[in-house]
Amino acid sequence: MIETTRPPRYIIESRIDAHLKYKEANHRWLDLFSNEDEDFDVNNFPYIPDVESLATLSRVTFSGSPRLNHFPEVEENSKNTKFVVLMPAKAVFKKERVLNILNIIKNESYGTAAKESNDWVRKNLAVVIALNRPFSIDSEVNDDFSYQVCSEKKVQGIAYSVFGFSWFFKWKSQTPKILKDWAAGFLEEPDLYLKTFNQFLYPVKTAYLLLKSLDQDSAMIVRESLEDRDDKLSKELGEIINMQKIRQKLLTNPATQAYLNNFTTLAPKSPKYLCSLDADAITIRCREDQKGLFEHYDDLIASYLKKRKILPDFLSTGYKAAANENPVLQAAIEIDMEVRSVMTAFFPAYFPEPNMAWLVKNGFKASDFSFMGKAKKDRKLESLRLMQNAINRNLANIDNLVFGKCGHVTTNTERMRTKTIEGKTRVTFSNESDFQSLRSSKVQSHAFPRTWAGQIYNFLNIKGAGGITNVTTPLMGIYSVFHPISLIQDYKSHIFDSWNQSFKDVMNFYIDYARCMVAIYNKPTIRKKPIQDFCNKYKKNSSEAEKQSLEIFLNFEINKMFASKAPLKQILDKQVNADPNILTKVFNVAIFSGHAIFSVLQRYM
């Protein structure tokens, strides 16, 4: 007879009781997926990614073999610029992502033909790719990911290294709405029930595994909706993902420095640039002249070197939407690139991550640079943080920047879509909503006044202003005085109720208007004559009432200009060792930004 030590009866009963409570709590939500009378709803799963959680990256990385797929075949005594491309790529199952993007780089980097590009890439470029994805509640997905990284097909004719890692996030429990409604309608103590429900939920992985064992199709839909499907992260994970950390992992990966060292050893006289590209690039060949991205980089560097006698520390040629993309979105991106280009002559514009290169001077390492911001929840704005950190660490000079507006990288613009522009086949100037879309924050455009003002603020290094809005508000006011779309809105409210007529009038007089405003800004005491000359020219055959309305409009813009200048000047005057010409630079960038927008609008007329 086998002797056993049994726990007391009350312990057994308490365990059974707890088991029954777990069973009851989890049976409720599981039943919602199995009940044919209920519509399928992902939100019936009792967990959701916690958008307040901070993404953490796995310290463990895995890669295929060999770790480095050889080095570039650098020519002896070469002086050609060398590039190490850093590319984060979301792992996508059943798609040869690495193979596809490496072939694009091989065939489209230089010249107008694939062979010319192949020859140049083999000697002057290396690529480091970081495949990454969220750590899944489905262990099979995690296993498939590690297998994908290790089994990527090898690509010949290009030096590259691929590594992979997962990033982690937290889940939080949620009570399905249908259960809340049921408890409220049928139970005497609904709050007690809901508390018990959350208390006895299985952990998220156990809950998912249970659902998967009962209904694989439902489990797959739940996972894809809450985590990711193909290229798309869920809305929640899109907020959680920390692109700063992901790009930083590329900077500190040993392969990055190994490639830089190789270029330094074999081509000590060649400039070396790190370059940021994204894996969703559709092409890196210029649509207009069919030349590759890195040939245009070389042209920008040569032109800058000839003009300034120094290498640019940062450069970009921007990006474009695909030729078949929504025309409103195309116009918005075109405007954005024009504004970024003129901004960079005065302040750094936001250099887009899909197309940005920065100089690594002799004696410095890749890891000396940083994409990381200081704030705990600072997750994006990677290029801004890289530039700020490089300037603060004396790795780069704020004046040595160049932004070409060619837009060689054609990117996926899915994140920029809005319902307002969906289905549009052309930009309609009579439609006010089209114009609002041209400067929308959704497209991350520098035509959006808050984006423009915020970018300038980032490099003013202002202290003691009492808050960012004390600076950005007057900056936005100055910008709006020269911003054609803002002017059309103001003109509409003062002169015409018709957007279409307001558009025509402002576009007709914009150049003379801008000259009038500049003249008054430079000599405020001569305000009267420029206003009279302007009104006489554009309302020559109009009634006195119409002339007076135009004069009221002009005075409104003039007053706004000086009302915005005053607090900004007061703040800037208090800054220690401030550039005495900084206010003039602000006005110049506002004037030229406005003119850039006007020029694009003219092309679409």
For 73-129, write each residue's pLDDT tens digit. 999 889 999 999 999 998 877 667 788 899 999 999 999 999 999 999 999 999 999
pLDDT tens sequence across 208-221: 998 898 889 989 99
Half-sphere exposure of 128 (CA within 13 A, CB side): 23
Strand partners, 264: none
From residue 455, alpha-carbon distances to 371, 461, 579 in Å are 16, 11, 18
Three-state DSSP at 594 gives helix
Give me the DSSP letters along 348-401.
-----TTSEEEE--TT--GGGS----SSTT--S-HHHHHHHHHHHTTSS-TT-E
Determine if the pTM surpasses 0.85: yes
The answer, yes or no, to whether residue 159 has pLDDT greater than 90, is: yes
Is it the case that residue 17 has pLDDT exceeding 60?
Answer: no
pLDDT band at 431 (very low <50, low <70, confident <90, very high): low
pLDDT digits 0-9 by tens, 243-271:
999 999 999 999 999 999 999 999 999 99
- Indicate the DSSP class of residue 54: P
pLDDT in tens, 161-198: 999 999 999 999 888 888 888 778 777 777 887 787 77
The C-alpha atoms of residue 448 and residue 343 are separated, in whole angstroms, by: 13
> At 63, which helix (H) or strand (E)?
strand 62-63
What are 493-521's pLDDT values in tens digits? 888 778 888 888 999 999 999 999 999 99
> Mean of the pLDDT values across residues 7-20?
54
Query: Per-residue confidence at 1, pLDDT binned at 50, 70, 90?
Result: very low
Higher-pLDDT residue of 557 and 152 is 557
Domain limits, the chain = 9-46+174-229, 430-604
Check pLDDT > 80 for residue 408. no
Mean pLDDT, rounded, for 562-586: 91
The residues, any chain, with a CB within 8 Å of residue 347's CB and separated by 6 or more, are 455, 456, 459, 585, 589
Residue 152, pLDDT score: 76
Determine which of 182-186, 287-291, 327-331, 511-515 has the lowest per-residue pLDDT on average.
Answer: 182-186
